[in-house]
Amino acid sequence: VYTAGEAQTLMDIHGIMPGKEIVIIGSGDVGLIMARRFALEGARVKAVIEILPHPGGLMRNVVQCLKDFNIPLLLSHVVTKIIGKKRVEKVVVAKVGEGFKPVEGTEFEIPCDTVVIAAGLRPHVDLLEKLGVLMDPATGGPVVNELLETSVPGIFAAGNALVINDLVDYVVEQGELAAEGAHLFVSNDGLPTIDWKPIVKGRNVRLVVPHYVSCERRVTIYARVREPEERVFARIPEIGIRKFYIAVRPAEMIRLDLEKEDLSKALHESKITLEVSPPG
């Protein structure tokens, strides 16, 4: 039984294959990419097990890493037992129902010699926590304003230390913005006093970054939904902004560019709200 990181280390650094018949727990991008890697290395990936009713990774990775290699994806399933003596021999898998609890009578076995756990990523924030930075349970990272400054003045965060991103492009954007914020902080002996307005999570929004805006400059918002939906708008009612999406999924980040001219409409509001909802 290995974490995805341990399996990668064995293959990349030591040239050792963890096993020949693999079951992967977790369908995030790491789990999907590991499934393809094992297949390319000659192993047989018996299944990718996901407790949620939808994949945890990008749809393009589901296609390129699983469908293209005929690897089964079992949604709404969980591994209830790992069985073996000197090494793994099989796993017991069951469907999950309400509250993600295994449904009795749905159990079945999958023979395998290796289990890889790829149950998702969280920002590495040990140092930030030691500094007393306020954290957001939804992102696992720090609470930040539009310049990516944390609750501790002069401490900025970006990339996967802020929120787990889909694309390296977003990481680069955030790095450049945090650098700009740090430059302003150093040049002016701190950021100017601003009436920060919170971004409130509305319908079907699980997380949003940044958490506070001034409505006095251009801002890029990154968000994730709670549930998959089709044909919806991402809306900010206070400024009359909306963006249409054919489909939204928890695994795929929503990115909104808000211009200063639009945000200025909310200068006298106490907050702005991001919601994802059907037309109408």
Do residues 123 and 164 touch, judged by C-beta distance below 8 A? yes
Q: How would residue 123 be classed by pLDDT, with cut points 50, 70 and 90? A: confident
How much is the pLDDT for 224? 96
Q: What is the pLDDT of residues 153-181, one digit of tens each?
A: 999 999 999 999 988 999 999 999 999 99
What residue ranges define each of the domains in the chain, with the CATH number in brackets?
A: 2-117 (3.50.50.60), 126-277 (no CATH)
CB atoms within 10 A of CB 51: 18
β-bridge partners, 229:
248
Nearest Cα to 34, choosing from 129, 157, 47? 47
From CA 250, how far away is CA 161, in angstroms rounded? 19
Q: How would residue 98 be classed by pLDDT, with cut points 50, 70 and 90? A: confident
Nearest Cα to 217, choosing from 275, 263, 265? 263
From CA 169, how far away is CA 159, in angstroms rounded? 10
How much is the pLDDT for 203? 97
Task: Please report, as a single letter, which amino acid is at residue 59.
Answer: M
